[in-house]
Every structure is written in structure tokens, then in C-alpha cells.
Amino acid sequence: MNIIVVGLNHRTAPIEIREKLAFFDKELEKPLTQLHQAEGILENFIISTCNRVEVYSVVSSTEEGIRTVKEFLATYQQVEMSILEKYLYVYEGDQAVAHIFRVASSLDSMVLGEPQILGQMKAAYKIACESNTTRFFLHALMHKAFKVAKAVRTETGISRNAVSVSFAAVELAKKIFGSLHDKQVLIIGAGEMGELAVRHLISEGVQRVLVTNRTYERAVELAKAFQGTAIPFDQISEALITIDIVISSTGSPHYLLKYEDIKALLSLRKNRPMFLIDIAVPRNLDPDINQLDNVYLYDIDDLQAVVEANIRERAKEAQRAEEIIQQEVLQFSKWLKAQDVVPTIKALRKKIETISRTELERRLPGLKNLSPKDLEKIQIMVNLITNKILHDPLVALKKLSYTDEGSIYIQAIQKLFNLEVDE
């Protein structure tokens, strides 16, 4: 019995290959069941996202199991094996366990520390459970993986710092205002990053969204998406009197807001802080605006610098996360090795107890003069002798099963006592 991983991801395969191998959640039961029926596949679980397709399996033979999974992927998704082989990676044993823990903890993601992968793994695992392709070992492994992911998130800062420009803008806004629950935002233009930043702000509780664009119809369309209000382009200055956050993302070659424009508004705003995000290239907002009191202006380079600093910080935290994973892999490996010895222990105990019971029953007819109480004492004595004989070898076998030579001792016990072991 061994655990294997066969798959590919954004590092090993281009999007054209990942698309060909992708599975849809609603259709996962069929491939899961088909692979589960293959000889030597004891348990299996498929995770398929835009960045990875991986098969986790418990197999009776590692080499044959790997070959079976590869052939399944090639055949089911109709991709030539010669092409598929170029992009696949394979892990087995402790390396497979470590990889699964790393995936769950978002250490193997395109964006280090992103939270989506854990939810995707849980959803895929649920489908595998409902398809009855997971059993004892994958249940234990996946529940352990989820606990490891939680430990990584709570004990490290791997997911604390924003690593996208749009989310970095939101993080800066929270530093300036604290809570965003009573804040109002104005989005100028319809750029993709600006739109994404507004969505992040709304998720943080921004109260009101105003949208303006040179094409008013486009402003109305975008406002509907945010459940906000569209305003004409020439009413920007009036809106800025009450607005807390401005996001500008237009294709204008000139400044839309200048130093003098914002300065004239400060007395009307009663010096309330204003946060301006200029995501446009070329810039929409005059850089001199940042010289005004209680006005905070960040452009795309400022945000990118924050993102790069946060990526470096996440990389540091990833080292701590790797240490957590190494320790958890050792623990799981120890537990897994202990499971290998359980059938042998049960078989040895069953054989010794059967011999003791059989021999006692053979002698009982010749002990007619003994009272029922005496017979009970003899039964107890035989049980005690059996347990004492078994104690030392069973304790030693459990300890030895954790070592690299554990399988040798298990096989020796099976051979010496001619055991019939149920796998």
C-alpha cells in the first residue's frame, strides 16, 4: 500500500494542456468511479482547477499504480501519452504527502498564500466521498491536510499581505480609515483593475458607490453591477465633497484632477481624509495632490511596490510554513507505518489465542473432577500466559514499524508464525 500523486500544474504545463486535462466538478463522479475500478487502485481523489489537475491515489503497487493513473488520464481525456508525459509530475510516499500538504496550504499556488485552493480541495474531496472512491487512508490524509493548512494560516503570516494591485489598494485604504463600513467611493472610468478594486472595497463594507465615465451609458451599466449610482462626468468636483475614496482608471492622456482642484475642496470637506488611487497609465491624477494635508494619493507604481514588498514578506513566511509541513509529514508518516503493522499484530494475536483456546478445550474433558470455579481460574491463567507471551513481541513490533526496516520485521513475523494476514 502506498500513496501517490500524479498531475500537472501552472509551472509544468501551459494552459492548452491544462485545458485538455481539466475535469468539471459536476462530472467528476464518472472519472472517479472509472479509475477506482482499475486494478491496484484502492482509493482515489481528483482535484481540477484552472492551475492544476492532480490525482491522489492509494495503490497496492506504486509502479503499477503510477502507470495506471497515467494511462487513465491519457485515455479518459484523449491526450497522447507521449505528449502528456512531458508535463506530468509524480510523487510517492512521504513526498506525495508533503506535496498534498503544500497544495492545501497554498504553498504550491500561483499566488502564494491565496485562500481559494483549500476550498477547492474540500469541494473535490466531498465529491470523492460521495462517489465512494475514498476510504480509510485518504480520509485520514485529507483531514490531516486540512488541519495542516489551518495551522499554516494561523501560525504564519503567509496570507496576511495583499499581493494583487487591486487588493493592495484596499489594504492601504483600511490603514488610512480603519473600518471602511461607512465610507463612500467614486470610480472614474471603467478600467478592469479599478473595477476589481471597487469589488474588494464593497466586500470590506463600503457604504456607497458612485460611478462616472465620459460615456454616461457605460457609467450606468457599471453602477448597476455595484448597486451604485451613476453621475455625469462634469459632476466629479461636486461629488468629491463627500467622497472618501477615489479610484481613477481611464484612458485620458491628461490629468483629470489637479492640485488646485483638490485644494479648493478641502475647506468644504472640513479636512476629512481623502484616499485617491490612480491605476491609469498615463496617470489621471496630478502627483502634486499628495502634498496636501489629509490627502493620500497612490499610483500604480506605489501599489506595485507594496505588492512586491508583500510578496517578499509572504516568501519569508513560506519558510516557516515549510517547517510546519515537514513536521506534519513526519507525524503522518509515522502513523502510516504503524498502520502497516496492524494486520500482522491482529493475525499474530488471533493465532496465539486460537492455539491456547484449542489446546485448553482439548484438555477440558479430562478435567471432570474440577469445579466450575477451578475451570474458570484455569481459563484466566491461560489468557494471562497468552498475553504475557504476546506482550514483548507486539511492543517491539510496534516500535520497529516506525523505522525504515519496519517492513522487514513485519515480513519476518509473518513468515516465522506462518500468519494469514488480511490486508
Query: What is the full DSSP assignment across 370-419?
Result: S-HHHHHHHHHHHHHHHHHHHHHHHHHHHHHHTSTTHHHHHHHHHHHTT-
Residue 96: helix, strand or coil by DSSP?
helix
Q: How far is CA 179 from CA 168, 174, 275, in A?
A: 15, 6, 14
Over the stretch 114-127, which tens digit does the pLDDT of each residue have?
888 999 999 999 99
Decide if 18 contacts 84 (C-beta within 8 A). no
Three-state secondary structure string covering 103-142 = HHCCCCCCCCCCCHHHHHHHHHHHHHHHCCCCCHHHHHHH
pLDDT in tens, 320-377: 999 999 999 999 988 887 777 777 888 888 888 888 888 888 887 777 778 888 888 8
Torsion of CA 350, 356, 359, 365, to 10 degrees: -110
Higher pLDDT, 169 or 234: 234
Spelled out in words, what is the top-level CATH class assigned to the domain 2-155?
A: alpha beta
Q: How confident is the model at residue 162 (pLDDT cuts 50, 70, 90)?
A: low
Q: How confident is the model at residue 78 (pLDDT cuts 50, 70, 90)?
A: very high
* Interval 60-83 mean pLDDT: 96
pLDDT for 111 beyond 90:
no
Catalytic residues: 50
* pLDDT given at position 169: 85
- Interacting residues of 154 by C-beta distance below 8 A, sequence separation 6+: none
- Give dist(CA 256, CA 280) in Å, integer: 11
Domain boundaries, the chain: 2-155, 165-307, 333-416
CA dihedral (328, 329, 332, 338) positive or negative: negative
Predicted confidence at residue 56, as pLDDT, reads 98
Q: Determine the pLDDT at residue 402.
A: 65
pLDDT in tens, 392-409: 888 887 777 667 677 787
Output 69 or 415, whichever has higher pLDDT: 69
Q: How far apart are CA 181 and CA 207, in angstroms?
A: 6
Model pTM above 0.85: no
Q: Which residue has the higher pLDDT, 103 or 159?
A: 103
Decide if pLDDT at 166 tops 90.
Answer: no
Record the cell numbers describing residue 341, joined without a space: 503493522
Q: If you average pLDDT over every residue of the chain, what do you get? A: 90
What residues does 44 pair with on adjacent strands? 57
162's CB contacts (< 8 A; 6+ apart) are 168, 170, 171, 306, 307, 310
The Cα 293–Cα 148 span in angstroms is 46
Fold annotation for 165-307: Rossmann fold (3.40.50)
